[in-house]
Each structure stands twice: as structure tokens, then as C-alpha cells.
């Protein structure tokens, strides 16, 4: 309602004031500028969407590595990693939002602006010039009559003023003894002349006003035609902006995107699949009472052997390899985190092992306690005496004569941890190498 009242008042002001059409003409320039403003607004939002997506991706990558290296295992680990997967998929959706804003919405506004506004060589827009010329042409005859009427009105008002002054002088002359009869006669004649002039000016003023009134209907019709043309151009702009904003809303509203809904449906399904009993059973079978035991057995003395009887195929002349009970059964390795895969546990289950407690202030809070720091420690250089082909994922493979670094001493089962010059870390039989 207020908008309609404003438009009516603007139109009435436009009709009754010569040259007041400039506001309607300026609306063309404002429309072109508002298109630029909308494109700038969308470009800024696109940058925000890209930055948010990049931050989600970086966050997901960092924490995925930390979780995979951490001690969490089983279905809870899978659910935790599913949160990282959610971040990666949501990041892709926000990158799609950015692309839609730039490639569709901004381009749509740019193309419409180019079609709706035509720049002139001398500056300004063709639509604004046509509107201004139309208003001038419609106002020209009426403006001429208006100017004549204003001049007649001014003349009439001046004549009224002169008549009042003359009448006042005549009245004063009658009361003053110094004024002679001839002077009083002249004052009276002056009053009569001013009354005649005033009457003539009044008639001319009334005539010019009547002529102006006769021109008014045609003037209003012409002005309305030009104004309607401006309104039609504005209708196109407002209609387009409504459609464009609806497209923008559709691109921004991820809740209406089926892919976005699927992301959280899958995340909830993974979290609901957490099984406490399954995880506890896995841990008991791999690191508790249910794990395979290497009970002590009687062994004959053999000076050529430094470990238990061989359980793996070995090269000719090589000593037997120690027991491989340091690894979980192949069927369970997919559930254990890389932190567990990289640790050498005793074959005998015991409560004597005391893991290092996590402290949020450790290392100044700049490093996650799950990260393996064995790769940064110093070791002892060793040389391989025999070829060894790793039988498990966490075992090294090397040839006789290869040199690498021992990072951990031999455990109770005869295994050492080492690092090849390529950076690979793993376990190897202690009796297959010698210190350099």
C-alpha cells in the first residue's frame, strides 16, 4: 500500500512540475548500477563458499590421518571417519554452490543487463535518453503555456500592489492639510488608472490560466504514455530480479538438495551401526585373553639357531624367522587402526603394559598424541645377512647386503623394528642382520 501511495505521489509531482521527470529517468541508471551490485554481491558469496569448502577439506584430511593413526578401532573408528567423509562431501556441495553462483547466476544477470541497457558513445544509456526526450516533448507545449500564465500572474499581482499603494496615498492626502485640491485630484486619477491596469492584468491572467487548463488533458495523456514506457522497463527489471533471486535461493538452499540429505542419512546409518560388543570382542581377540598365545615349549640346544623353529619359508642358509604372532589374523586387520598396525605387541597378554596418557598440553598443544613419532627417532645402522621377503603388511622386505636403520631393539619373539632408506618402516627378524 505504501509503495502504491509513493508511486502516485511521485507521478503527481512529475505531472505538475516541469522537469521533475528526472527522477524517473535516473531510475534507468540506477537499474544498471543495481545489476553490478548484485553481481558483486554474488561474487563475494562465491568466495565465502569456496573458502568454507577448502577449510572443510583441509580439516577432514588432517583429522582422517590422525584418526587412522590413533588407537580407536572397530565400528567407532568407522563412524568417526564417516564424519570426515561427511565434511568432504559437504565441501563438494559448497564448491558446487560457488560454481552455480558464478557460472549461472552471475552470468544470467550479466547477460540480462547487456540486453536491457544499451550504452551510448557519448555516455549514458539509450533507454534513459529516450525517456528524457519523451518527457521533454510531452511537456514542451504545456510548459510554454505555464510560463505565460506565470508571467500574467506576476503582472496581475504587481498591479494589485500598485493599486493598494495608490489608494493608501489618496487616503493620506485627504487627511493632510498641506495637500492641495489639484494634488488630491491627481492622486484620485492615479487610483483609477491602477484599478484599470489591475483589471486588465486580471483578465489576462485568467485567460492564460484558462488556456493552460485546456492544454492540461493532452499534456497529462502524453506524460502518462512516456511514464508508462518507463514503468514497463522497470517491470521487466523487477520481474527478472525476482526470478534471479529465486534461482539464487535454490542454489544456496542445500536442504533441498537430495545429495545433501543423502550425506547425513549415510552418516547416521554408520553411527547407528556402532556395536559395542563387536568392538570389545575384537579387542579381546587381538589384544586380550582371546589373542593367540605363544606358550613356552622345550627346545633342544642348537648353536646355529637363535630363535624358535622356522614357521616361514626362508632362503637357503638363512636362520629361521621368529613367530609371526605379532600381527592380527588377516580377517581382522581391516578393523584395526594404523596406530595398532604399527605397534609391536608382546605375544603374551598382560596388564603390565602402561600406555602413555594423552595430555592436551603435550608438545604445546600443537601435535596430536595419536601421531607416531618413531620415524623421528635415531637408530642403529644394520646390514642384511640374508634375503628376507616380508610375509605380512607390517614386515620389511630386503636383500642380503642391504643397509637400513634399526629403530627399536629386539623383542621377546626375536623381532626388531627398522626403517628402510626409502622411508618404509616395519618389522624384521633380528637374526637376519648384523650391526655395521
Q: DSSP string of 360-382?
A: TTGGGGTS-TTS--GGGS--EEE
Name the residue ranges covered by the structural domains of the chain.
1-134+221-292, 380-435
Helical pair 181-252 and 22-69, crossing angle rounded to 10 deg: 30
Cα(375)–Cα(162) distance, rounded to whole angstroms?
111
Torsion of the alpha carbons at 360, 365, 371 and 376, rounded to the nearest 10: -130
Residue 58 to residues 87, 166, 375, 423, 429, Cα–Cα distance (Å)? 10, 95, 23, 25, 39
> 267, 264, 279: which is closest to 71 by C-alpha?
279
Residue 314: count of CB within 10 angstroms of its CB: 17
Identify whether the C-beta of residue 267 lies closer than 8 Å to the C-beta of residue 83. yes
**CA 57 to chain CA mean position, Å:** 15
For the chain, list residues with pLDDT below 70. Answer: 1-19, 305-378
Identify whether the C-beta of residue 198 lies closer than 8 Å to the C-beta of residue 162. yes
Vertex 43: Cα angle to 41 and 45 (nearest 5): 70
**pLDDT on residue 249:** 96
Helical pair 22-69 and 2-16, crossing angle rounded to 10 deg: 150
> 19, 20, 30: which is closest to 125 by C-alpha?
30
Q: Quick one: fold of 1-134+221-292?
A: Substrate Binding Domain Of Dnak; Chain:A; Domain 2 (1.20.1270)
> 338, 103, 134, 158: which is closest to 224 by C-alpha?
134
Cα(157)–Cα(247) distance, rounded to whole angstroms?
62
User: In CATH, what number does 380-435 get?
Assistant: 2.30.30.40
**pLDDT on residue 137:** 86
Helix (H, G, I), strand (E, B) or coil at 165: helix
Cα(22)–Cα(283) distance, rounded to whole angstroms?
82
pTM of the entire structure?
0.57
Amino acid at each position: 500500500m505504501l509503495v502504491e501511495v509513493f508511486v502516485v505521489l511521485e507521478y503527481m509531482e512529475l505531472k505538475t512540475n516541469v522537469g521533475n521527470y528526472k527522477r524517473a529517468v535516473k531510475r534507468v541508471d540506477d537499474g544498471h548500477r543495481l545489476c553490478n551490485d548484485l553481481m558483486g554481491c554474488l561474487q563475494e558469496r562465491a568466495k565465502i563458499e569456496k573458502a568454507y569448502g577448502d577449510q572443510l577439506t583441509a580439516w577432514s584430511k588432517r583429522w582422517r590421518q590422525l584418526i587412522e593413526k590413533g588407537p580407536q578401532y572397530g565400528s567407532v573408528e568407522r563412524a568417526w571417519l564417516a564424519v570426515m567423509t561427511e565434511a568432504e562431501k559437504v565441501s563438494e556441495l559448497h564448491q558446487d554452490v560457488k560454481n552455480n553462483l558464478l557460472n549461472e547466476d552471475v552470468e544470467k544477470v550479466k547477460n540480462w543487463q547487456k540486453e536491457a541497457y544499451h550504452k551510448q558513445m557519448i555516455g549514458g544509456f539509450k533507454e534513459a535518453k529516450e525517456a528524457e526526450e519523451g518527457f521533454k516533448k510531452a511537456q514542451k507545449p504545456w510548459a510554454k503555456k505555464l510560463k505565460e500564465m506565470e508571467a500574467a500572474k506576476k503582472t496581475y499581482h504587481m498591479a494589485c500592489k500598485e493599486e493598494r499603494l495608490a489608494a493608501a496615498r489618496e487616503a493620506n492626502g485627504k487627511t493632510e492639510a498641506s495637500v492641495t485640491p489639484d494634488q488630491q485630484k491627481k492622486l484620485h486619477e492615479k487610483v483609477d488608472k491602477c484599478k484599470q491596469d489591475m483589471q486588465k492584468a486580471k483578465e489576462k491572467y485568467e485567460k492564460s490560466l484558462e488556456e493552460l487548463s485546456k492544454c492540461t488533458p493532452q499534456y497529462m495523456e502524453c506524460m502518462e504514455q512516456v511514464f508508462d514506457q518507463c514503468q514497463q522497463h522497470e517491470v521487466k527489471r523487477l520481474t527478472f530480479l525476482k526470478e534471479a533471486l529465486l534461482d539464487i535461493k535454490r542454489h544456496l538452499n542445500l536442504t533441498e538438495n537430495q545429495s545433501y540429505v543423502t550425506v547425513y542419512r549415510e552418516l547416521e546409518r554408520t553411527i547407528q551401526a556402532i556395536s559395542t560388543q563387536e568392538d570389545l570382542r575384537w579387542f579381546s581377540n587381538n589384544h586380550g585373553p582371546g589373542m593367540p598365545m605363544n606358550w613356552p615349549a622345550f627346545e633342544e640346544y642348537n648353536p646355529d639357531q637363535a630363535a624358535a623353529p622356522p614357521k616361514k619359508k626362508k632362503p637357503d642358509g638363512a636362520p629361521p624367522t621368529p613367530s609371526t604372532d605379532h600381527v592380527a589374523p588377516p580377517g581382522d586387520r581391516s578393523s584395526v587402526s594404523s596406530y595398532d598396525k604399527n605397534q609391536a605387541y608382546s605375544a603374551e597378554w598382560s596388564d603390565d603394559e602402561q600406555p602413555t596418557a594423552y595430555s592436551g598440553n603435550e608438545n604445546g598443544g600443537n601435535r596430536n598424541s595419536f601421531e607416531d613419532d618413531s620415524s623421528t627417532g635415531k637408530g642403529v645402522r644394520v646390514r642384511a645377512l640374508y634375503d628376507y621377503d616380508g610375509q605380512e603388511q607390517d614386515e620389511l622386505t630386503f636383500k642380503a647386503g642391504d643397509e637400513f636403520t634399526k629403530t627399536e631393539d629386539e623383542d621377546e619373539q626375536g623381532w626388531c623394528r627398522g626403517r628402510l632408506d626409502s622411508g618404509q618402516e616395519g618389522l624384521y627378524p633380528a637374526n637376519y642382520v648384523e650391526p655395521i
